Structures are given as structure tokens and as C-alpha cells.
Amino acid sequence: MPSLRLPTVGRGLESFEMSPPSPFPARANGDFPRIVYAAAHVVADPLAGADPLAHQPVDWDRTLAFRHRLWDLGFRIAEAMDTAQRGMGLDWAGAQELIARSLKEAKARPGADLACGAGTDHLNPLAARSLDDVVAAYEEQVGFVEKHGGRVVMMASRALARIARGPDDYAFVYDRILSQAREPVILHWLGEMFDAELRGYWGASDFEAAMSGVLDLIARHEARIDGIKISLLDADKEIAMRRRLPAGVRMYSGDDFNYAELIAGDAQGHSHALLGIFDAIAPAASAALDALAGGDTQRFHEILAPTVPLSRHIFQAPTRFYKTGVVFMAYLNGLQDHFVMIGGQQSTRSLTHLAELFRLADRAGLLADPELAVARMRAVLAVNGVDAGIAAGIGAGINAGVVR
């Protein structure tokens, strides 16, 4: 197997020998025992000649090809969500094009399933003057998704979080939108670790109080709610809420730290999933879910166990920059030709962070072509000042294990 030298904390380099990749199948063997959405990333087009900080165009061919790969592996897709850099490089105009193109692809592919994020991100939170402004923004985005035949994930609103004065204001907005929904929607509770502007969402800083308000909302609109995704990175909170949901409303785990145990469930129930990490670990997650479908819970956990350290690393604080790790995984595996992100977001993680991601991905068996992965890691090292000679262990200071 190939090897290379990787940076360590403290400006050192250490030898790393690749492991054989796990032989995960390229297609799912059948239906999963859980409803599982993978939130998918977008591929930037670095050759478009645009200012990447002003408007980085999307490579539509690669972006849509990645969605077909997820469908091949048995996943439903959560489109235009946080993983697609929504609100961090992908604006509403870009999200509209992404939603329209992806829905067209899904309709042309039998069995493909897609749900689309609808929020208020085209409304500057500072420009929102009233709850009616927030309602109108939601109506515009929900209307766009429904006009194109899509189902809605009702994303959390920064504008609402800024102007709401308590739970009643959240109830006013959500009551208005849910009462108009054509099909059951998935609610979205995104914690402040993902977006600091959502602190105190649902009008309460205390989890129990916030959960109580959401459960009241769900009780009023049960027929119009498919489920709720919560991304709080706290398994106990998710389980507590899961046990209080009405029988017809699903819990979609958004916990990228504890997904294995939450999906497996307990004697009182289980979570379905809507996860960004499934973009990065799709082959392993698909194989694990196939095992779970066959009743092999032990194998399910064996496959997912080594992916959890990788996921916790990708989603480490500042958690909002996890998209960089997701895109880096796609680059290492040859699913896109470059490590460039819209808005220049590839710069949000350090070289040592990426090196550790490489090690953890290898240990999880998720680098499908070790030779390609090593070549691409060396290219990233070179761009960051660790050139090919140094990466191979040649150059002043390397024998001492220090980059000078």
C-alpha cells in the first residue's frame, strides 16, 4: 500500500501507510429499514472566471452526478440544505437553480426521492421589521419548492430568531406556513453550534421549554408534518423528544456525533436520519443500513463504529465549517477534480485538520483508491507549503521530524 508523510500538531511530519479500502458496494442491495436522507454538497466551478468571494458558480454536471451516486447507494437526498453551503456561499438564487435542477433529475429517475430546504435566507435578518416579513419570506421559498413539485424541509430562520420575542412569535409564523403546506413538511431544528444566529430558537434558551413549544406546534399540525430533524449533537435530547412525538411524526436524527446508536434505536423506538455526514461516508452508511435491514445489528455497528471518529472530527468546533471536510472527502475519492468551494470555504480548516481527516478516513475504509487519495493529499500539502519532496521525507529538518 502507498504511504506518505503527514503533518502533525507542532509542525512535525510523520510517516503514514495506507490501509486497504473496505469493499463497500457501489449500490444498495435493497430498501433500508429507516428513512434516510443524505444532505448533499455542491461542487464549485473554479474555471468559470468569476470572483469566488462574490459569486462562485456551481459545476452542475458534477453536482448532479454526486446526487445520482447517493441515489445509487440507496439514500434519499435533502437538497439545498446547510451541507450545500446554504447561507455560507450558496444564496437563494443559487439554491433555486439547485432545487429546480435536482428535482428535474429526480423526476427522470424512477424511485429517486428528494426533499428541499425552504427558509428565509433571501431576507436579510437586519431588514426584517415584522413577523409578516418572515412569513412572506417563507411563503416565497415554500411556494417555489412546491411549484416545482418538491417536498419541503422548513429550515430554521435567522430573521425569525432575531425579531421573535418569545414562543408565541414562533407559533404565529409556523402556524401560518404549516396551515398552507400542500404536503407534510419536515421541520428543522438547527442548534447554535451550526449557526450562532439561531441561539434560543423556538423562543427559549432552555431545551425543555423549547421542546415543549415545538411539541405543541406539532400537535396542532400533526397531519401536515412528516417529521422533525434536530441537530443538537446531544443524543439524550433527541431521544427525549423522540419518545414524545405523535405516532405519525418521525424523528429525523441530525446528530453527526451519535447517529449509529440513534438509528439503531432502543426498545422504545428509533430515529430516521437527515445527515450531512452521510454525504462523506455514504458507502459505509449504505452497507451498514443494508446489514440492519437483514437484522444484523452487530455488523451495522461494526461498519459505522470507525466512521464516528471521522464524523466527530469533521464536525468539530467551529461546527459550521464541517462542509470543508465533506468536500475534501469527495476530492480525495475522485468525485470532483479539485478542492475548491464556493466562497473560498476550503480555507476554513487547517492543514493539520485535513491531515487528521485523511488518517481517520483511511481507518474507516473510506478512501476507495489509496493511490489516488495519496496523490491528492500530496497536492494539497504542496499548495500549503509542504512540497512533494518534503512530503516524501526529503529536505532539511525532516529527519528530525520538523518542518522548517
Residue 294 CA to its chain's centroid (Å): 27
373-384 average pLDDT score: 96
| Residue count (the chain) | 404
For 258, the 3-state DSSP assignment is coil
Backbone angles phi, psi at 228, to 5 degrees: -135, 135
318 prior amide bond cis, ω within 30: yes
Name the residue among 190, 185, 195, 123 with its Cα closest to residue 160. Answer: 123
Query: How high is the pLDDT of residue 390?
Result: 47
Query: How high is the pLDDT of residue 401?
Result: 35
Strand ranges (E), 114-160: 114-118, 151-154
Q: How far is CA 26 from CA 9, 22, 69, 73, 114, in A?
A: 35, 12, 8, 6, 20
Instruction: Give the largest CA-CA distance in the chain.
Output: 69
- Model confidence at 51, pLDDT cuts 50, 70, 90, reads confident
- Model confidence at 387, pLDDT cuts 50, 70, 90, reads low
Q: Mark 165-177 as b/e (b = at least 16 C-beta within 10 Å).
A: eebebbbebbebb
For 131, the 3-state DSSP assignment is helix
Q: Which residue has the cell 402556524?
A: 175
Mean pLDDT for the chain overall: 94
For 60, the 3-state DSSP assignment is helix
pLDDT tens for 110-129 read 999 999 999 999 999 999 99
CA distance 80 to 117: 5
Residue 52 has pLDDT above 80, yes or no: no
Residues ≥6 apart with Cβ < 8 Å to 211: 202, 237, 240, 241, 244
Percent of the chain clearing pLDDT 90 (strictly above): 92
Residue 400 has pLDDT above 90, yes or no: no
384 in Cβ contact with 391 (< 8 Å) = no
148-152 average pLDDT score: 97
Query: How high is the pLDDT of residue 285?
Result: 98
Query: How high is the pLDDT of residue 393?
Result: 43
For 17, the 3-state DSSP assignment is strand
Query: How high is the pLDDT of residue 23?
Result: 93
35-44 average pLDDT score: 98
CATH architecture assigned to 25-319: Alpha-Beta Barrel (3.20)
Strands 36-39 and 76-79: parallel
Residue 402 has pLDDT above 80, yes or no: no
Strands 36-39 and 12-17: unpaired
| Bigger pLDDT: 402 vs 182 | 182
CA distance 187 to 375: 42
49-72 average pLDDT score: 90
138-146 average pLDDT score: 98
pLDDT tens for 286-344 read 999 999 999 999 999 999 999 999 999 999 999 999 999 999 999 999 999 999 999 99
Residue 397 has pLDDT above 70, yes or no: no
DSSP 129: -
Strand partners, 117: 153
pLDDT tens for 157-182 read 999 999 999 999 999 999 999 999 99
Percent of the chain clearing pLDDT 70 (strictly above): 95
59-85 average pLDDT score: 98
Q: How far apart are the first and last CA of the chain?
A: 28
Query: How many CA atoms are closer than 13 Å to the CA of 339, on its beta-carbon side?
Result: 25
Listed range (52-61, 263-272, 370-379) with the worst mean pLDDT: 52-61
